[in-house]
Structure 1
Amino acid sequence: MRNRRSPRLNITVLGATSLLAIALSGGGGVQALAVAPPPAVVTGTVEPPAVAGSWRSADGTVELVLQGDLTYELSVQGRERKAHGSYAVDGSDLRLRDDDGLRTLARVTEDGLIELAGHELFPA
């Protein structure tokens, strides 16, 4: 006597949507689901954020350089080492994260300045 088995599937080549369709189909057969195509891959250059550039406090004690590749360098007078790391723009917030893991929140004001730890930074 021969046992009837369900079709064998190699699940290592199936995506999450396909596996979900198989699981929800009750094992009777494979049903097709409409799946959106993957998002397009952007190639070429990416527009740098509007805040990219050099920023300096009025007294020159703080200088912040925001690169177009979302990295930054921060120097504060009296500190031997410059802070550097990456930043993200979220509306008017700038979230700085240095390479040691320290996180600092800065804000772009309505006047177009950057407020950072009590300092107003102007475009240099």
Structure 2
Amino acid sequence: MLKRAVDPHALDATALLKRAMGPTGKPAKVKTTAPVGVWLSEDGTVRLDIFDDGTYDGQVAGRKRHAHGTYYIDGATMTLSDDSGLYTPVALGEGGLEMAGYHLSPAGC
């Protein structure tokens, strides 16, 4: 009889539900509307400008090419669709955004 290997990093349904729910057992609050404005990483190397017309412009220090394109929101995830065909998921959280390992906060905060 063959046994299936178990991925130690895989989450079962209970673990996924706990992750989706806050520590109080209530759904975690997430932003579900477009976070229009300027967002910056703590070190200032990443800037994301989100516009209310469904477009965005992104800049990363040291890169000549700026990313720009459109975005759409599905629940707690905003997906950036670059003009070059690249898709980047952005987690929408209360007070900040998570994108490619960076935490972005509203500019001026």
- TM-score, normalization: structure 2? 0.66
In structure 2, the partner of 1:14 is none
Report the AA paired with residue 84 of structure 1. H
In structure 1, the partner of 2:106 is 123
Q: Deviations over 1:74-107 (max 9, x none)?
A: 0000100100000011111010000011001010
Aligned equivalent of 1:75, options 23, 41, 59? 59
Displaced runs of 4+ in structure 1, greater than 4 A?
none
In structure 2, the partner of 1:100 is 84
Secondary structure of the equivalent of 1:95?
strand
Query: Counterparts of 1:46-61 in structure 2 under 5 Å?
Result: 49-61=33-45
Q: Deviations over 1:32-76 (max 9, x none)?
A: xxxxxxxxxxxxxxxxx4401100001100000000001000000
Q: Which has the higher contact order (CA 8 A, sep 6+)?
A: 2
Secondary structure of the equivalent of 1:81?
coil
Which consecutive residues of structure 1, in runs of 5 or more, have no partner in the other structure? 1-48
In structure 2, the partner of 1:35 is none
Secondary structure of the equivalent of 1:75?
strand
Q: Across the two proteins, how many residue pairs are aligned to each other? A: 75
CA distance in 2, matches of 1:61, 1:85: 20
Which has the greater radius of gyration?
1
Which consecutive residues of structure 2, in runs of 5 or more, have no partner in the other structure? 1-32
Deviation at residue 112 of structure 1 after TM alignment: 2.1
